[in-house]
Structure 1
Amino acid sequence: MPEYKGMVQPQRATDAEMRKIHIEPVPDELKPEKALEYLDQIRKKFRSFVLAMESCTKCGQCAENCHTYLGTRDPNNIPTNRAELIRKIYKRYFTLEGRWFGKLVGAEDISLDVIEEWYSYFYQCSQCRRCAHVCPFGIDTCEVTFIGRQILHWLGITPKLHATTGAAMEKVGNHTALPKPGIVDTLEFMSEEIMDEFGVEVEFPVDKPESDIMYIPSSADFLLNPYTLMGAGMYFTYIGANWTIPSTVTEAGNFGFLFDQYWTQRGNVMRLLNAAQELGVKKIVWGECGHGWRAAKMYIPSLADRPVRWPITHIHDEVADMIRKNELKLDPGKITRPVTLHDPCNYVRACGLNENMRTIMRACVSDFREMYPNGADNFCCGGGSAILFDDPEMYQRRILLSKKKAEQVRATGVGKDGNGILCAPCSICKAQLYPMVEEHELGVEVKGLIDLVGMSLVWK
């Protein structure tokens, strides 16, 4: 497989598509000036950004710990060099030495070419935060990338995938633009599939008032990952839960977190809270989406326009707790195929889901094989932060970014006989890993963790 060098860029949203998400694109001749204005606002607001700009010593620790660099060997994909794309502008305009000595101290004038570099490399970073995990100073280059993407968005430069997803979320509450009738029909079909395959009667309530639990699935579970949603339905039925799925929020991911943490992310939070209030639920349970869970757990309280009076938990936490209380009977003998676990970056490096995933895994399967490194040390799948671009150049780049993950999976031996399972408990990880296992010929089937719960339940 060839190594791709130089800039590659995802297809960007048109001006009309940007206006659908409340952005008036900035004319090219004004982009450099406006980029500086936005950068100035950011540096005055976030001390963490200033720390990242002024504290890096270029020790290089992040280089061999970045799957993007390991896959592409493009120097600009070394995390410190990626941050340097914006740091050199920061130096030029916001430090004395940069204003006085310019290129002698690594400073550079802002230009359209620089902004194009930002667009290329900030959307090759999957926001996995492994660089922060190993940095001796704790510098989180992911935060720099987030800020770069936000500035690009304000300029009117956003990938088509992200912009159209944001617009669909605002319109119907899921990124596939699936309306309520389509949601209900799909869930009825899943009920029939569960009866045919497992012999269990499962109802998927939609917009059921006064439910104890409001479950937020990934919208991909309606199309690409049906066994994840079927597994959740089987679990809630097994425990006798009074639960519902809100038709207005059928997307666990908050894509605004990945490109626009102001209007888009906040709008998705408001939609969620409105649904909980209108249905009169008591608790919100999140489905399998890594960045979505991080955005929910860490950002909802600060973005909400009202007190958040509902506890918000993850379905993995719920299931693991039931297992520990011996209130959920699972038979690992039902799944004898070898299984390895991919740790989604946002779960293990941001949300502390490490041990709960393993509690569930050990209860569900009889041949669990860890990949190494794992947990918080694990490598990204290569598709994090929704860099799931299908245009030819970016698709090939995605496969390169998955090179390290493919090496990890192969080393476990689970695919040796072509019968293994790669468990990926995150919707975006699944979307990346489906083509990855084919391109790298890994001999495994990708499944979610809640898929395995549904398959191993022992019905009373």
Structure 2
Amino acid sequence: MPVVDGLKQPVKAGPKEFEGLHLVPVPDEEKPAEALKWLDYYRKERRSLVMAMESCVKCGLCAEQCHTYLGTRDPNNIPAGRADLMRKVYKRYFTVQGKLFGKLVGAEEITMRTLEEWFSYYYQCTECRRCGHVCPFGIDTCEVTMIGRQILYNIGMVPKLHAATDVAILKTGNHMALTPSGIVDTLEFLSDEIEEERGFRIEFPVDKPNSDILYVPSSADFFLNPDTLKGAAEFFEYIGANWTISTRITEAGNFGYLSDQTRIQRELVNRVWEEVARLGVKKVVWGECGHGWRAAKMYIPTMSDYPTKMRVPITHIHDEVAAYIKAGKLKLNPKDNFRAQGLPVTLHDPCNYARACGLVENLRVNLYASVTEVREMNPNREKTFCCGGGSGVLFDDPEMYQLRIKFSQKKADMIRATGAKVLCAPCSICKAQFHAMIPEHKLDVKLYGLIDLVGAALDFKGHRQV
């Protein structure tokens, strides 16, 4: 990871990535002026940004509530301090006192150093929104971070990870650049695994016309979390669903939401509706991804080029499962859950589910019905702490990787305190972070998604498959 003028930063995207994005970066000498134009645009466009810029009184309540600050003790990782990196510029150019008195009121000129600080710290924020829940004024620093990232994207300052992922989205409709043949081959292999585990085969329908349900998994499930795909298939098989997976939209996440909310995010939004029309789908069921569900729930109904009459309901798989459990239509046997194996389980509440989507109680409906013992973390639900990898802060370059581990210290302490032996993380980015975090913090836990555990607890005895 490069260190620019003393700032730890992720590796920046280069010519190859920008060529794939069909973008031309702004020359360095023009970047400050161009960034200022974009800041002016967003302050007029977003009331939330103006509120964040003008309402903070530096009370300090957000400091001890932020896992990035707790892990690094860097003042610029205090949410108010992180927002100040932009607020100083805002004051200088858009307030009377800043124009008249400059540094006396904390106002500063925008320079390349300013933008390098934004690039460093806005990609250390995981956009978990915990600061917004403790702020007496309701200031959500996530809004500042996201707008800061978009401005940086617009002028050509993008982490290589995010840019490469965005290129993959444009090419394939998923983060991992999965091809249709690769998708089919992986799902056939998972069908073989289910047959070995259960003694009968469950097929994964792919691009099936006239399907009632389009299931949108995370592309990471094809690499890191295959049990999540198997759990979803087990659930759909159990309820006798007419469902399918589309090779054009195998992505429950949306890195555009974390980098470029204009073109890249819209690409995945439109692909969903295109596949709904192509396959004659009646309902879309979203897979396990926290920020992806936030982006889908908030933006897919509105950020689209498709008319309202072509749209269908969009739900989350855990709301679907919970509805069946509450109606008594799923036979679950926690004692025979071959993934949990009777071990105590603790639940990680993904930040976006908990603080943006209201998805906390149904997670528990599903988990408590599927395993023999649940040990809650403290704090939990809306007060949860981030895994430390949210918003795509999954950098592998050495120093940034170490920051990821520091960011996860609070969550590691919470997991360890439960004494649980199984960690349930119903979000693909959280799982990607935990795959690294568990060995780094020497946590003695197995990692699963929630639909993994639901699927393993389904009792098929006497059911139509056996």
TM-score by length of 1: 0.97
Residues 159-198 of structure 1 correspond to what in structure 2 (within 5 A)? 159-198=159-198
Of 307, 320, 323, the residue aligned with 1:321 is 323
Residues 60-139 of structure 1 correspond to what in structure 2 (within 5 A)? 60-139=60-139
For 2:145 and 2:243, locate their aligned partners in 1 and report how far apart those are by CA, in whole Å.
Answer: 38
> How far off its partner does 1:200 sit?
2.8
**Aligned-partner residue type, residue 363 of structure 2:** M
For 2:424 and 2:335, locate their aligned partners in 1 and report how far apart those are by CA, in whole Å.
Answer: 17
> How far off its partner does 1:198 sit?
1.6
**Aligned-partner residue type, residue 319 of structure 2:** D
Aligned residues of 2:273 and 2:311 also touching (Cα < 8 A): no
SS at match of 1:349: helix
Superimposed CA distance per residue, residues 77-135 of structure 1 (whole angstroms, 9 cap, x where no aligned partner): 00000000000000000001001000000000000001000000000000000000111
Aligned position for 2:356: 350
For 1:210 and 1:36, locate their aligned partners in 2 and report how far apart those are by CA, in whole Å.
Answer: 50
For the pair 1:310 / 2:312, whether they are aligned, the reply is yes
Residues 248-397 of structure 1 correspond to what in structure 2 (within 5 A)? 248-306=248-306, 307=308, 309-334=311-336, 335=340, 336-397=342-403
For 2:324 and 2:196, locate their aligned partners in 1 and report how far apart those are by CA, in whole Å.
Answer: 27
Aligned position for 2:149: 149
Aligned residues of 1:290 and 1:427 also touching (Cα < 8 A): yes
> How far off its partner does 1:272 sit?
1.3
Residues 409-428 of structure 1 correspond to what in structure 2 (within 5 A)? 409-414=415-420, 420-428=421-429
> How far off its partner does 1:19 sit?
3.3
**Aligned-partner residue type, residue 268 of structure 2:** N
For 1:374 and 1:153, locate their aligned partners in 2 and report how far apart those are by CA, in whole Å.
Answer: 34
Work out the percentage of aligned pairs sharing the same amino acid.
64
> Structure 1: any 5+ residue segments left out of the alignment?
1-5, 415-419
> How far off its partner does 1:40 sit?
0.6
For 1:234 and 1:44, locate their aligned partners in 2 and report how far apart those are by CA, in whole Å.
Answer: 49
SS at match of 1:40: helix
Superimposed CA distance per residue, residues 416-448 of structure 1 (whole angstroms, 9 cap, x where no aligned partner): xxxx11100000000001110101011001110
SS at match of 1:233: helix
SS at match of 1:411: helix
> Could you say what the CA RMSD is over the residues aligned between the two structures, in angstroms?
1.0
For 2:15 and 2:295, locate their aligned partners in 1 and report how far apart those are by CA, in whole Å.
Answer: 27
Aligned residues of 1:21 and 1:264 also touching (Cα < 8 A): no
> How far off its partner does 1:57 sit?
0.6
SS at match of 1:359: helix
Aligned residues of 1:218 and 1:289 also touching (Cα < 8 A): yes
**Aligned-partner residue type, residue 217 of structure 2:** P
SS at match of 1:313: strand
For 1:7 and 1:430, locate their aligned partners in 2 and report how far apart those are by CA, in whole Å.
Answer: 28
Aligned position for 1:3: none
Aligned position for 2:451: 450
For 1:8 and 1:364, locate their aligned partners in 2 and report how far apart those are by CA, in whole Å.
Answer: 43
For 1:14 and 1:313, locate their aligned partners in 2 and report how far apart those are by CA, in whole Å.
Answer: 38
> How far off its partner does 1:16 sit?
3.1
For 2:256 and 2:209, locate their aligned partners in 1 and report how far apart those are by CA, in whole Å.
Answer: 28
For 1:269 and 1:356, locate their aligned partners in 2 and report how far apart those are by CA, in whole Å.
Answer: 25
Aligned residues of 2:325 and 2:366 also touching (Cα < 8 A): yes
Aligned position for 2:3: none
Aligned residues of 1:25 and 1:156 also touching (Cα < 8 A): yes
For 1:106 and 1:362, locate their aligned partners in 2 and report how far apart those are by CA, in whole Å.
Answer: 51
Aligned position for 1:417: none
Aligned residues of 1:71 and 1:400 also touching (Cα < 8 A): yes
> How far off its partner does 1:395 sit?
0.4
Aligned residues of 1:24 and 1:156 also touching (Cα < 8 A): yes
For 1:200 and 1:252, locate their aligned partners in 2 and report how far apart those are by CA, in whole Å.
Answer: 28
> How far off its partner does 1:7 sit?
2.6
> How far off its partner does 1:178 sit?
1.3
SS at match of 1:438: helix
For the pair 1:18 / 2:26, whether they are aligned, the reply is no
Residues 219-258 of structure 1 correspond to what in structure 2 (within 5 A)? 219-258=219-258
Aligned position for 1:435: 436
> How far off its partner does 1:301 sit?
2.0
**Aligned-partner residue type, residue 330 of structure 1:** L
> How far off its partner does 1:361 sit?
0.6
